């Protein structure tokens, strides 16, 4: 059964959308269902920052200001990651690509590695909802499980339901940094919507809906027979 679902993805899935749109929440579900890696560039950078690597040292102040980390650093990190054997059956990108040069480089890499064209799902949500989602977000320090103090609180305040780990607030989830992140998204990432639409690989979903409805929209796209509607 697991083998069949692995074969069913066999491509890159890209979750595109503003910060706080729910990309990470849905990417975890899709990766679990298809048994493929969930590749969050934000998560990779935060791990580098915690373990004090050179990349983490460079990225931390940029992330805490709400700006994007330079393309060359991101591309090196991503290319190393998708060259690993566990990516052979496909993978889910959350937070990558975020600029036109990143998207163009990814297209070249996918082609070189004989992957089918990616499936790109655009999460459409208004800014006022994003602010509430990000200021309310708490993440487990141990397993990266995602909660929201307004909409999806843990059973015990401050503790993860799954492993009891401490729930923390991200340094970039303060309102002044969120405003910068939204501006960076508008400036540098939003143009990718038209880039992928023009390539015929974009699907748009209403990500302002409740969690179950968003999950249903994502899986409807991924379970659709190959070939577009
Ligand atoms: P990154 O970690 O990628 O953050 P982001 O894109 O800003 O996205 P978020 O993680 O904030 O949101 P999300 O869409 O995953 O939402 P989530 O599921 O958590 O990037 C951080 C930084 O790293 C960047 O600013 C940049 O500096 C750097 N970086 C990363 N990648 C880069 C790249 N490629 N190039 C350059 N720099 C890069 O959900 C949010 C909240 O909403 C949660 O509390 C959740 O519980 C809740 N929620 C989710 N879905 C719903 C729903 N349907 N209804 C109600 N609440 C919901």
Separation of 1 CA from ligand 1 center, angstroms?
Answer: 31
pLDDT in tens, 40-70: 999 999 999 999 999 999 999 999 999 999 9
Given strand 119-124, what is the order of strands in its sheet?
38-40, 91-94, 12-16, 119-124, 202-206
pLDDT in tens, 5-28: 444 688 999 999 999 999 999 999
Instruction: Pick from 12, 81, 133 the residue to mutate for probing ligand 1's pocket: most ligand atoms within 8 Å of its CB.
Output: 133
H/E segment holding residue 183: helix 175-184
Contact 95, 23 (CB under 8 A): yes
Which pLDDT belongs to residue 108? 96
Indicate which residue's Cα is closest to atom 12 of ligand 1: 20
Is 23 one of the catalytic residues? Answer: yes
Active-site residue among 124, 170, 174, 197? Answer: 170
CB half-sphere exposure, 9, CA atoms < 13 A: 25
H/E segment holding residue 58: helix 54-65
Indicate if ligand 1 lies below 6 Å from the C-beta of 152.
yes
Distance CA 154, CA 141 (A): 14
pLDDT in tens, 75-100: 999 999 999 999 999 999 999 999 99
Provide the token pair at 200. Answer: 């015929």
Contact 138, 147 (CB under 8 A): yes
Query: Can you give the pTM of this predicted structure?
Result: 0.93
Separation of 203 CA from ligand 1 center, angstroms?
Answer: 19
């Amino acid at each position: 059964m697991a083998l069949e679902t692995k074969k069913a993805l066999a491509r890159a899935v890209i979750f595109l959308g503003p910060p706080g749109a729910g990309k990470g929440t849905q990417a975890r579900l899709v990766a679990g269902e298809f048994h493929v890696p969930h590749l969050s560039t934000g998560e990779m950078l935060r791990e580098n920052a915690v373990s004090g690597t050179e990349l983490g040292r460079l990225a931390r102040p940029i992330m805490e200001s709400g700006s994007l980390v330079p393309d060359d650093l991101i591309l090196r990190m991503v290319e190393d990651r998708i060259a690993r054997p566990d990516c052979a059956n496909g993978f889910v990108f959350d937070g990558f690509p975020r600029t036109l040069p990143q998207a163009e480089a990814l297209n070249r890499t996918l082609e070189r590695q004989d992957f089918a064209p990616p499936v790109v799902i655009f999460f459409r949500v208004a800014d006022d909802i994003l602010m509430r989602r990000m200021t309310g977000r708490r993440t487990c320090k141990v397993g990266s499980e995602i909660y929201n103090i307004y909409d999806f609180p843990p059973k015990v305040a401050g503790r993860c339901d799954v492993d009891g780990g401490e729930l923390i607030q991200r340094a970039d989830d303060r309102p002044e940094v969120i405003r910068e992140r939204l501006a960076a998204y508008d400036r540098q990432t939003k143009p990718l919507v038209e880039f992928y639409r023009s390539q015929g690989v974009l699907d748009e979903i209403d990500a302002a809906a409740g969690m179950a409805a968003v999950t249903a929209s994502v899986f409807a796209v991924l379970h659709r027979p190959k070939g577009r509607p």
